[in-house]
Structure 1
Amino acid sequence: MPGFERQVGIAEFSNARVRVIDLETGGNGPNDVCEIGWQDVIADEDGGWQVTDERGALLINPGRLISPDTMAVHHILDADVADAPYWKQVASRILRPAGRIDALAAHRASFEQRYCTPRFTGGTPWICTWKCAMRVWPELPRFSNQMLRYQRMPQGLNHETGLPAHRAMPDAYVTAHHLRDLLNRESLENLLAWSNEPGLLPRVPSGPDRGKGWDRLSDTTLREFIHDRDVEIWFSAQTELTRRGDPDQPQLSEPVQRTLL
């Protein structure tokens, strides 16, 4: 990809692999997965990253009826999963595939991490493509998986393979194209580090300053935002104060997402 300088990290060797995960659920319980989809992204011999043909999906029996609210999103019926395996029977096999695995990834990965716990992942680190997209493409107006798809139109993304939306394999396939392009701009180590912090919002998301970049706000307004209960808002305001070298700002005491645990 012309126009960027690659930051080479220790994990960026040929055959490095990241598995993108997407889940559909039947409710909000800890075992309510009703479908998992996956798509692999690998580093080639030249150090670039590519979306592979290694993808798939599996229906899961959540052990109870699927709620109408979630059924209206993914259209998976109770009859579809009646004979499917349970989450605990298949999760480790998909999340810890044979061979090398350098990271797992998902768009807004905190959702997948509720279900893909270290018990099943073996402690494999995660990349959140939502957080990383805001760092790499801050000029974009929105950062949902599907909006990134149509705002950016990633090269090589087959439209039909990425449909229907809100099903596990098509969504993982779309996310994998965002991940590929992120990895071709930034090192794997950078993406992992950003994913381990709250999301850095490019603009104020609500209120009288909605839509403004943080650099347009006064020090006083930024100090008000660092008391916000939303972790992404106070982290974004505090990051701008740090950039300005504000000596009165409090130190970030919880660098890892508080809302994941």
Structure 2
Amino acid sequence: MDFGTWPPLFVVDVEGNGAQPPDLVEVAAVRIDGGRPVPQATLCTLIHPPRPITRFARGVHHITDRDVVNAPAWEHVAPAVQDTLQGVWIAAHNAHVDYTVLHRHLPDWKPAGVLDTLRLARATLPQAPSHGLDALLTHTGIGTGDIPGQRHRAGFDAHATARLLLTLADRYPTWDALTAVAVPPGLPGAATPDHEEQTLW
């Protein structure tokens, strides 16, 4: 894989407050450049949600209401997130979830395309015992000890997912071959099926 052929791409991760539909409490985006994650180019911020964080959500990401009490509200964060992600490719693990939440918060946002590392891993590593992020990191031998933060926080998970994406992508010869597998149907960047023109004669 020639990573120099890749279009602008950010690996994203979001954390929510557990409400339905969820309010964002943290968002991160890690830029990929030349086949490497660029930590210093990471957008990562806590967000003060309009509703409290549920006990279940706290148990997953360990972000508490106290942690976000002085964080900016979404309306103050949204312009920077939209500017960063507008018109670029994004990637995420189980990307449909992240894309749906972000699009609900950014109705005018139009990414160039969406890669799903879960979909990619299922196609690339069908023999893996599980296709959850933790299991895939272990199965592929990807180290995360030097990534700041902790699992289930947006910055950490985005960086870990970036490493997984690059490891899996290296098994594909071209960007087009990668996207043919990794873009979920119905999401931006998905191939449009060719249909023969139907006529009456």
Instruction: Calculate the TM-score normalised by the size of structure 2.
Output: 0.78
The gaps in structure 1 that reach 5 residues or longer are: 1-5, 199-251, 253-261
Question: Distance in 1 between the 2:150 and 2:48 partners?
Answer: 21
List per-residue Cα deviations over 1:118-177 (Å, max 9, x = no partner): 6253233111100001111112111111111111112xx441416411111111111000
Counterpart for residue 58 of structure 1: 45
Contact 1:35 1:57 in 2 (8 A): yes
Using CA pairs under 8 Å that are at least 6 residues apart, name the structure with larger relative contact order, 1 or 2: 2
Q: Tell me how far 1:189 sits from its aligned partner.
A: 2.9
Larger Rg: 1
Alpha carbons of structure 1 residues 39 and 123: separation in structure 2 relative to 1, 3 Å: closer
List per-residue Cα deviations over 1:16-75 (Å, max 9, x = no partner): 331011111102334511011221212x3xxxx222232242001111111111011111
Alignment of 1:39 with 2:27, yes or no, is no
Alpha carbons of structure 1 residues 163 and 83: separation in structure 2 relative to 1, 3 Å: closer
Alignment of 1:63-82 (within 5 A): 63-82=50-69
Question: Distance in 2 between the 1:86 and 1:120 partners?
Answer: 19
Over aligned residue pairs, what C-alpha RMSD do you find? 2.7
Counterpart for residue 199 of structure 2: none
Count of matched residue pairs: 182
Contact 1:33 1:60 in 2 (8 A): yes
Alignment of 1:165-180 (within 5 A): 165-180=151-166
Alpha carbons of structure 1 residues 116 and 192: separation in structure 2 relative to 1, 3 Å: farther
Q: Which amino acid aligns with 1:26?
A: N
Question: Distance in 1 between the 2:175 and 2:6 partners?
Answer: 13
Question: Distance in 1 between the 2:171 and 2:133 partners?
Answer: 18
List per-residue Cα deviations over 1:202-221 (Å, max 9, x = no partner): xxxxxxxxxxxxxxxxxxxx
Instruction: Calculate the TM-score normalised by the size of structure 1.
Output: 0.62
Counterpart for residue 119 of structure 2: 131
Counterpart for residue 93 of structure 1: 80
The gaps in structure 2 that reach 5 residues or longer are: 187-192, 194-201
